[in-house]
């Protein structure tokens, strides 16, 4: 992460909240994010709440979509083309989450989603991670294999966000050990440099208060889930991220 770059805190609401609950959450989170401009916040609600999120947060936060369709406008019943996401104001499109892999989606599909997102100006947020638990070297090899497959059709000059989420840490009691994450992150950073890619690297997998301080400067931010669904906990994470980056710049 460059000195001028803000850390990124991306928050997926998954399918935990209904539309009315999401609207209330957005209203509470708006002043939380607005008061902490040192951190970029991106919110990824359910697709049906994307317009609400853009309307409420659009001037203080980025908005993302939890999936990207590969369908073109036309005869594609039930699909929401990537062009519509861009029209709505979506900046980030999540691709390759472990829960989508568990549902049977493949790297070939994720590669098509990445191309569709980039084609309409939506920045891919690509999730990678190993399952089952393994050592950091093998974990990085597995993640690189996923990244090379998903980004095969995306030019190296296109900026992407990569969220390292070890599958065994998603929904666990604690995040993956910092020693494991930092080694994987450093290897992914070297992969990006070798490929000439511009990458912002996040950690996800039971991330919450305390996680960023343990991982910085090896990662550029966090991909948050249920622990950020409490706005007070999200505020704590954003404050910690800002303090950590500021302390690193002052040292």
* 165 in active site: yes
Task: For residue 229, indicate whether it is catalytic.
Answer: no
Bridge partners, 204 (sequence order): 223
Using CA atoms, how far residue 202 sits from 17, 122, 126, 205, 215, in Å, is 24, 18, 10, 10, 10
165, 216, 229, 240: the catalytic one is: 165
What sign has the CA pseudo-torsion 68, 220, 207, 191?
A: positive
Coil, strand or helix: which one is 203?
A: strand
Helix residue ranges, H only, the chain: 19-34, 50-57, 82-88, 98-102, 107-119, 136-150, 178-195, 211-215, 231-250
- The neighbour count for residue 138, using CB atoms within 10 Å, is 12
Report the SS3 class of residue 80: coil
Catalytic residue among 97, 216, 218, 229: 97
CA-to-CA separations, 232 to 18, 29, 190, in angstroms, rounded: 20, 9, 35
Please check whether residue 54 is in contact with residue 86, taking contact to mean a CB–CB distance below 8 angstroms: no
d(CA 193, CA 7): 19
Rounded-to-integer distance, Cα 93 and Cα 201, Å: 15
- In DSSP terms, 6 is beta-bridged to none
Q: How many residues does the chain have?
A: 251
Q: Which of the residues are catalytic?
A: 97, 165
């Amino acid at each position: 992460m460059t000195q001028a770059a803000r850390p990124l805190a991306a928050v997926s609401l998954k399918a935990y909240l209904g539309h009315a609950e999401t609207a209330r959450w957005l209203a509470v989170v708006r002043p939380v994010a607005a008061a902490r401009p040192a951190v970029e916040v991106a919110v990824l609600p359910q697709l049906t709440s994307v317009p609400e999120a853009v309307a409420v947060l659009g001037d203080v936060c980025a908005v993302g979509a939890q999936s990207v369709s590969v369908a073109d406008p036309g005869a594609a019943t039930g699909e929401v083309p990537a062009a519509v996401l861009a029209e709505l104001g979506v900046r980030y499109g999540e691709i390759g989450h472990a829960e989508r892999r568990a549902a049977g989606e493949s790297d070939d599909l994720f590669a098509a989603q990445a191309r569709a997102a980039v084609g309409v100006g939506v920045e891919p947020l690509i999730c990678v991670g190993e399952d089952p638990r393994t050592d950091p070297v093998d974990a990085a090899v597995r993640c690189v294999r996923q990244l090379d497959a998903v980004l095969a059709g995306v030019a190296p000059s296109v900026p992407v966000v990569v969220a390292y989420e070890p599958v065994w840490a998603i929904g666990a009691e604690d995040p993956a050990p910092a020693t494991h994450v930092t080694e994987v992150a450093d290897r992914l950073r070297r992969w990006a440099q070798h490929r000439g890619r511009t990458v912002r690297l996040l950690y996800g997998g039971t991330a919450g208060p305390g996680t960023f301080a343990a991982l910085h400067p090896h990662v550029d931010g966090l991909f948050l889930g249920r622990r950020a669904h409490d706005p007070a906990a999200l505020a704590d994470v954003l404050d910690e991220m800002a303090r950590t980056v500021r302390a690193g710049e002052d040292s």
